[in-house]
Amino acid sequence: MMPPEEESPDGDRDGGLVLLHGLKSGSTRKQGCDPFAQTQRSKLQHRRARINQQINKEMRMRAGAENLFRATSNHKVKETVALELSYVNSNLQLLKEELEELNSSMDVYQNDSESISVPMIPLGLKETKELDLLVPLKDFISEHYGEEGVLFEKEIKEFMELRQAMRTPSRNEAGLELLMEYYNQLYFLDSRFFPPTKTLGIFFHWYDSLTGVPSHQRALAFEKGSVLFNLGALHTQIGARQDRASLPGLNQAIDAFQKAAGAFNYLKENFSNAPSLDMSAASLTMLVRLMVAQVQECVFEKMTLLRAQNDFLARLQLAQEAAKVEDAYSLVHQTMSQPHVKDYVPFSWTTMVHVKSEHFKALSHYFAAIALCDCPAPSDAELLEQEKAFLQFHVTMPEGPSLRVLLHDPEERRKLGKAHLKKAIMKHEEAMRIHGLCKILRKMDILQEVLSFAHKRSLSKYSEIDHEEDFFETGEAPDIHPKTHQKPEIKSPNFSQVKVTDLFHRLGPLSVFSAKNKWYPARRVHLMRGENGFGFTLRGDSPVLIAGVIPGGCAAEAGLKEGDYIISVNGKDCKWSKHAEVVQLLKSTGKEGVDIGVITLQGSECPKAVDRKAAVMSSGSGVLKSNKENSRKSLMNSKSASTLLVWSKKSKRSKKSTYSGVPFTSVGDNEAMY
């Protein structure tokens, strides 16, 4: 993942088609957040949150009862606690069943179109508790950065408002951007406030999206992973709501499910040891495969809209597309049946996937039958192309006459078509039988309607081609080779799509002012300009680095050291100042001198290097190499060592300043003497 760009708040930013969020994102945030709208979906989310809270309460009661059961030796107390535990476990089971029914409410997320289409499986969002960051972040700012924490209350509250808003994202592009904006802000929060050797005492609480079981961790990675999960879940909801009876709706659904697969796959590859089952590797693998299968289903529906239904080759392609959908859902069903996933995934999901697998297998045989029975025999010009297509159509070649005879003889085509229809009807009936086993799916009228329509269509076609004088026994139709013209693509999240400005940019550039860097308390130094200037060389931007100090000069006598960063000049904050801006402030000083605020990173001192530098400075040669290496080493514990190179490229001696009394060779190529 490429981290969000860090820039000076006053710097230019590339606009283009990228939406700019951050400090001025209030209006966008309102568009992307929908906390109060009483839609079916929001009511579902509120009910899910209530059940999650009840599950959390029962889990605490069970933990307490189990501890008491283990601790006591009194037989009567043990009996009472055991009885209480049975009640608690019973309540937990009922709550989990209620939550499963909510999570199986696929109809809430479907589109409102009057067209009949097979429902898709969306995911509900993970719920989280409110988080009060005001005190921990203020304390950290005071302790680590040496700033007044109260001065950053506005930024902290803005971050908390952003987190509150992302808990209820709207089901559209604005909601996706809101989640992405918060995810990108977490990069800056991590860099600013989460040192590798210390915790802030903050716990991130999230509920499992399917079971409602609460989990909490101090690690910010858990927060990032949960937001990324919700990004994928929101994509599934957007995909499920599209009108798949139209080509634009199908393309949007394909895009949404591919992005959902990408989010879950990215989560699986980049986050490990998640405390909740919905983010385990096994569950995420299942979700990726489920999204890919739903993309494949949309591709099949797209084919039915685009291809001419009365063309022989088009019908063969439809049959192979349906077989490809069946293949994808069979893999999902196998994944859902694995030990680590079987008891976790809602039964309605497993049943729906199984139903779709049988349904699309039936459709593949149905389209094979109508290709054989409804299309005329090929002309001599068409024969070669049809033979080539038919050779790759079946997994095993059907028994009977040669391929050329089969394609030319209407009776042979009817026999094979009848065998395919027989298999289609069997699979339709199997799909309907499996559907009837699930109480939740039985309530979905549209699914029942789709299955019933497909079954009746195959029965009608079978009756149409079945002749009374048929005395032959209908053979077994071979399976159809799965093939697709549009392979599903797993689209990883594009984090640069939504650029953000670091809310805490006032703390200074991240290359220096980050949680993992430590520095000595800021020093205030008063300098008087001498005959040869102040006696130091400067390099870089934001913040400007003191690259060298002349022994015996004004800067050296005042206590400035190589590797110090200038953070203020005469009280003006210079953390984000460019090289030229600092130079101008220094030039504008009069006889009264100048007050410079500086900091020194801990671990950046190198006395031997400084002594060596002093000797080189006095001899007037060889400054560049030692300067660049020492200053670069002093920043190697920073995340942005490469950023220093960017600063150096921006620093041109001819543009930065003038100097006097010092030989030209004693100043580095990217440094200037003052």
What averages of pLDDT result for each successive group of 10 residues across the chain (674 residues)?
49 37 43 58 65 82 89 88 88 78 59 66 89 93 90 94 92 93 95 88 89 86 95 95 92 97 95 87 95 97 81 91 97 93 89 96 95 84 83 83 81 89 95 91 87 95 80 77 94 92 92 90 86 83 88 85 89 90 85 87 58 40 33 36 30 35 37 57
User: What would you measure as the largest C-alpha separation in the chain, in angstroms?
Assistant: 119
Q: Are 661 and 521 in contact (CB under 8 A)?
A: no
Q: Which amino acid is residue 627, in one-letter code? A: N
pLDDT value, residue 619: 37
Give the number of C-alpha atoms closer than 13 A to the C-alpha of residue 347, restricted to the C-beta side. 13
pLDDT value, residue 656: 37
pLDDT value, residue 57: 85
Q: Which two tokens stand for residue 399?
A: 């028994």
Buried b (16+ CB within 10 A) or exposed e, 161-183: ebbebbbbbbbbebbbbbbbbbb
DSSP symbol at 144: I
pLDDT value, residue 25: 41
3-state secondary structure of 595: strand
Q: Which two tokens stand for residue 566?
A: 């200038």
Q: Give the integer Cα–Cα distance in Å for 145 and 549.
A: 26
What are the beta bridge partners of residue 538? 546, 672
pLDDT value, residue 107: 53
| C-alpha radius of gyration, the chain, whole number | 34
pLDDT value, residue 269: 93
Residues 110, 111, 117, CA angle at the centre, nearest 5°?
Answer: 80
Q: Give the integer Cα–Cα distance in Å for 323 and 481.
A: 7
pLDDT value, residue 14: 37
Q: Give the integer Cα–Cα distance in Å for 200 and 144.
A: 12
3-state secondary structure of 357: helix
Q: Which amino acid is residue 471, in one-letter code? A: F
Residue 46 phi/psi, 5-degree rounding, is: -65, -40
CA distances from 118 to 297, 349, 436, 441, 453 (A): 9, 14, 16, 12, 12
- Quick one: CA dihedral 636, 639, 640, 644, positive or negative? negative
Q: Give the integer Cα–Cα distance in Å for 23 and 27.
A: 11
pLDDT value, residue 430: 96
Q: Which residues contact 427 (CB under 8 A, 6 or more apart)?
A: 358, 359, 361, 362, 365
Dihedral over alpha carbons 494, 498, 504, 506 (to 10 degrees): 120
The candidate with the shortest Cα–Cα distance to 406, out of 379, 387, 429, is: 387
- Quick one: CA dihedral 109, 112, 113, 115, positive or negative? positive
Q: Give the integer Cα–Cα distance in Å for 83 and 426.
A: 50
DSSP E strands in 166-292: the ranges are 204-207, 214-217
pLDDT value, residue 451: 94
For the segment 344-395, what is each residue's pLDDT rounded down to a tens digit?
898 899 999 999 999 999 999 999 999 998 888 878 778 888 888 888 888 8
Q: Give the integer Cα–Cα distance in Å for 398 and 476.
A: 8
Q: Give the integer Cα–Cα distance in Å for 164 and 187.
A: 17
Q: Which residues contact 452 (CB under 8 A, 6 or more apart)?
A: 432
pLDDT value, residue 45: 60
CA distances from 508 to 181, 281, 569, 605 (A): 21, 38, 15, 21
DSSP E strands in 244-333: the ranges are none
The candidate with the shortest Cα–Cα distance to 318, out of 380, 362, 354, is: 362
Give the number of C-alpha atoms closer than 13 A to the C-alpha of residue 264, restricted to the C-beta side. 28
pLDDT value, residue 380: 78
CA–centroid distance for 230 within its chain: 8
Q: Which two tokens stand for residue 187?
A: 């990069």
The alpha helices in 502-660, defined as continuous H runs, are 554-558, 579-587, 607-619, 623-633, 641-650, 653-656
pLDDT value, residue 672: 57
Q: Which amino acid is residue 72, in one-letter code? A: T
3-state secondary structure of 345: coil
pLDDT value, residue 308: 64
CA distances from 673 to 527, 530, 575, 631, 655 (A): 15, 13, 20, 16, 12
pLDDT value, residue 616: 37
Give the number of C-alpha atoms closer than 13 A to the C-alpha of residue 406, restricted to the C-beta side. 16
- Quick one: CA dihedral 575, 576, 580, 584, positive or negative? negative
- Quick one: CA dihedral 533, 534, 538, 542, positive or negative? negative
pLDDT value, residue 115: 57
The helix (H) or strand (E) run that includes residue 589 is none
Residues 153, 159, 161, CA angle at the centre, nearest 5°?
Answer: 100
Residue labelled with tokens 């409410």: 105
Give the number of C-alpha atoms closer than 13 A to the C-alpha of residue 531, restricted to the C-beta side. 3
Dihedral over alpha carbons 409, 386, 322, 171 (to 10 degrees): -140
Residue labelled with tokens 């535990």: 85
